[in-house]
Structure 1
Amino acid sequence: MAREDAKKDIINRLRTIKGHIAGIEKMIEEDTKTCEDILLQIAAIRASVHKVGLIILEEHAKDCLIGDKESLSKEEVENVLKTIVKFVK
């Protein structure tokens, strides 16, 4: 995915997440949905946030590992790996 395409995808996903959160707020305020419905929406938000994180992580790894560099230092590779580990925890 090209950098600009990734950015547009991330922005669209974040806007969708905001819409889902607003929907959950409305469900709770109006007491119109069951706990099951609300939890289903929360699960959808969690999955969406995780996907955004994966896209950002992929772009970060590409920038750091592929970028315009001839070679990578051990420290640069370790920094990318630390970022991956932090995300998946």
Structure 2
Amino acid sequence: MSHPYAKNKTDLLTRLRRIEGQVRGVQKMIEEDRYCVELLTQLAAIKNATHKVALSILDAHTRGCVADAIHHRASENEKIDELMEVIRQFTKG
């Protein structure tokens, strides 16, 4: 079964590898006792990068899985409820 995000799989994996590198960089910065603001700046960049990956997958899910369920009236409310729960998770802060 192919998921809607599969068409962007290469881009998503590239972004995630970059995030992985950023996390390793922060680990090294902590080992080196770097200044707090430098760490926080890098952590903010990681947060933003993961948010962009998540939004890309959320977009694919909405345009793929949710739209398909609505179009075919198959578990339409279930998919919308599922989507709303994911959106709630993103807006918790």
Count of residues paired in the alignment: 87
Q: In the alignment, is the contact (CA less than 8 A) between 1:64 and 1:80 conserved in 2?
A: no
The runs of 5 or more residues in structure 1 that have no matched partner are none
- Asked if residue 51 in structure 1 is aligned to residue 68 in structure 2, the reply is no
- Residue identity opposite 2:48 in structure 1: A
> 1 CA distance for matches of 2:58 and 2:90?
8
Q: CA RMSD in A?
A: 2.1
The runs of 5 or more residues in structure 2 that have no matched partner are none
Q: Write out per-residue CA displacement over residues 21-70 of structure 1, whole angstroms, 9 at most, x where no aligned residue.
A: 11111112123x32111111011011111111111111111222223743
Partner secondary structure for residue 72 of structure 2: coil
- TM normalised by structure 1 equals 0.78
Q: What pairs up with 1:26-65 in 2 under 5 angstroms?
A: 26-31=28-33, 33-65=34-66
- What's 2:25 paired with? 23
- Residue identity opposite 1:34 in structure 2: Y
Percent identical: 37
Moved over 4 A (4+): none
